[in-house]
Amino acid sequence: MLVAASTECYRDLPLHDAIGRLVDLEYSNLEIAVDEDGIQLRPSEVESNFDKAVALCRDTHRLNVVAYSVNIRATGEEYYRHFRAVCKLAKATKVVTLVVPSSELGTPFNEEVERLRRLVDVAALEGARVGMLTTIGCLTEDPDTAVVLCDNVKGLGLTLDPSHYVCGPHSRRSTSKLMKYVFHVHLRDSTKDALQVRIGQGEIEYGRLINQLRKVHYNRALSVHLDTLPDVDHTGEMRKMRLLLESLL
């Protein structure tokens, strides 16, 4: 397994500067956010200026890009055009894993299956794969629903964010059934009452999670995904998380 970090850990910085911070913290692997709501790189920009997007994503100070986290705000066919552009970006930069959100709670199941099948098919044409993010407030907040979606969409996997099962409404349910579907992992520390707390003050059992992933032969990235917390040294937390994960591998 590899320890990585997301550029969303520095979401207020331009992409180049966020990557620079991760270099300074001695991370070797990188997840890049392609987020229409962010300032680093937007899906619409990837479509409109593809060559510039490729150049940005290759300028990583030798960090290895392990995934793109994709948030698209467009609707209809424009949504799929933006996604197709990100898939082509992934191919051009030799990245396989694309993180996409699942739809909000209340979305008809069949509608979500159709959307995910189309995404998986588009990604496959460019040699990429889709890891659906487990998130509170979305269909994947229930681990049973996440499993059923993966079973109904051939080639679909999960980006496992265990914090959303510690803090979410299904905190008492086992997540062991999810492990065989995991394509990517997001990590922070959490409690039942707070999605993110200081590293070591929460309930995420990193060692147990890594052992569960090893049992299904997971050999890809564990991506640090920390927001800034008030009155907390963010740089220190990022360094602490890297050292903790590396000590467990």
Q: Residue 79: give the domain boundaries.
A: 2-248
Span between the terminal Cα atoms of the chain, in Å: 7
CATH number at 26 reads 3.20.20.150
pTM: 0.94
Structure tokens at 248: 């467990």
In a 3-state reduction of DSSP, which class is residue 170?
A: coil
What is the token pair recorded at 180? 């065989």
Q: Name the residue among 149, 136, 70 with its Cα closest to residue 105.
A: 136
Each residue's pLDDT, cut to its tens digit, for the chain (249 residues) gives 999 999 999 999 999 999 999 999 999 999 999 999 999 999 999 999 999 999 999 999 889 999 999 999 999 999 999 999 999 999 999 999 999 999 999 999 999 999 999 999 999 999 999 999 999 999 999 999 999 999 999 999 999 999 999 988 887 678 899 999 999 999 999 999 999 999 999 999 999 999 999 999 999 999 999 999 999 999 999 999 999 999 999
How is 92-150 classified by DSSP, letter by letter? HTT--EEEEEPPBTTS-HHHHHHHHHHHHHHHHHTT-EEEEEP-TTBGGGSHHHHHHHH
Q: Report whether 74 contacts 36 (CB < 8 A).
A: yes
Domain count, the chain: 1
